Amino acid sequence: MRLQSNLSLGGDPLILIDNPPDLGYIQKKRMKAIISVFIWAGSTLLTILLFLAVFTLNILLFPFDRKKKITHRQCFWWSDLLIALNPYWSLKVRGLEHIDYRQTYVIIANHQSMADIVVLYQTKMQFKWVAKASLFKVPFIGWCLSLIKHIKLTRGDFSSIKEIYHTASLWLRKDMSVLFFPEGTRSNTDEMGEFQNGAFKLAIKEKKPVLPICLIGTQAAIPKGSWIFKTKVEAQVIVLEPISTEGYSAGDFVLLKDTVRARIQAALNEAVR
């Protein structure tokens, strides 16, 4: 702001504004903040409702739902409503025809953000996640993971890593699919990290087909360093054709790993062109 004298001309002082505020920008910023409050509040409420539904059904169906299939299905409506609630999210799901819902898979997906958990429920598949232990401590959503008997991984703990593969084997033998993020950590770009070997050794050992799933665009779905949603996100879940492990010997896990990774990377490259 600048003050200029106009007294020599017999007038009042003039106040000149060098940089007037952009009212349109301010209004848009306020609107994004208001929308973000509703998104977070609505998401929190839906997650609390999910926990209450899972907790109640876990008690009522304990003798009848040992695999927690009914409680797992509650996450489907939770995912539907979270995606519908957020005007900044647009999601396309492709390749569902590649899923045989009677088949048991080792599911392999690339990992971009916490939103991956939400969008993968759009496959409507029954599975157990392998998720890091810290996620199980998050109120409501972490408690749901425990109640539905997902698989807890403590990073850097060899005994925990050994235990998760033992638990995953038991679930596969009970005809329950298991979902792995073999990168081990989230990628902030569409470039994938290196895959770890364990899931592929398991698939060969248990003679289960691998179902690759390519996730695109979810790295920007949740704001980083801020609570305000600012950008439109066009995310995709692409279910690729399953890969049979028949003919693979125990020592072929690297070949299987490279084959799966190459297919997911090809789907990523095609989608971001």
Angle, CA of 185, 187 and 188, to the nearest 5°? 135
Confidence band (pLDDT; 50, 70, 90) for 207? very high
Q: Report the pLDDT value the prediction gives residue 27, as an integer from 0 to 100.
A: 78
Beta pairing, strands 177-180 & 151-153: unpaired
Which of 92, 77, 83, 90 is closest to 39 using CA atoms? 83
Q: What pTM, to 2 d.p., does this model score?
A: 0.86
Q: Report the pLDDT value the prediction gives residue 229, as an integer from 0 to 100.
A: 85
Q: What is the pLDDT of residues 117-157, one digit of tens each?
A: 999 999 999 999 999 899 999 999 999 999 999 999 887 66
* Tokens linked to 2: 């600048």
Residue 51 has pLDDT above 50, yes or no: yes
Alpha carbons 66 and 48: distance in angstroms, whole number: 23
With 0-12 / 13-18 / 19 or more C-beta atoms within 10 angstroms meaning exposed / middle / buried, residue 219 is: buried
All domains in the chain, ordered by first residue: 47-271 (3.40.1130)
Beta pairing, strands 210-216 & 151-153: unpaired
Residue 218 has pLDDT above 50, yes or no: yes
Least confident of 33-37, 91-95, 212-216: 33-37
Mean pLDDT of 203-219: 96
Q: What is the secondary structure of the chain as a DSSP string?
A: -EEE--GGGTSPPEEE-SS---HHHHHHHHHHHHHHHHHHHHHHHHHHHHHHHHHHHHHHTTTT-TT-HHHHHHHHHHHHHHHHH-TTEEEEEE-GGG--TTS--EEEE----THHHHHHGGG---EEEEEEGGGGGSTTHHHHHHHTTPEEE-TT-HHHHHHHHHHHHHHHHTT-EEEE-TTSS--SSSS--PPPSHHHHHHHHHT--EEEEEEESGGGSS-SS-S---S-EEEEEEEPPPB--TT--GGGHHHHHHHHHHHHHHHHHHHT-
With 0-12 / 13-18 / 19 or more C-beta atoms within 10 angstroms meaning exposed / middle / buried, residue 21 is: exposed
Name the residue type at position 121: Y
Q: Report the pLDDT value the prediction gives residue 224, as an integer from 0 to 100.
A: 76
Report CA-CA distances (Å) from 137 to 141, 142, 211. 8, 5, 29
Residue 225 has pLDDT above 90, yes or no: no
Least confident of 152-161, 227-236, 262-271: 152-161
Mean pLDDT of 1-19: 52
Residue 237 has pLDDT above 50, yes or no: yes
Least confident of 6-15, 70-79, 99-108: 6-15
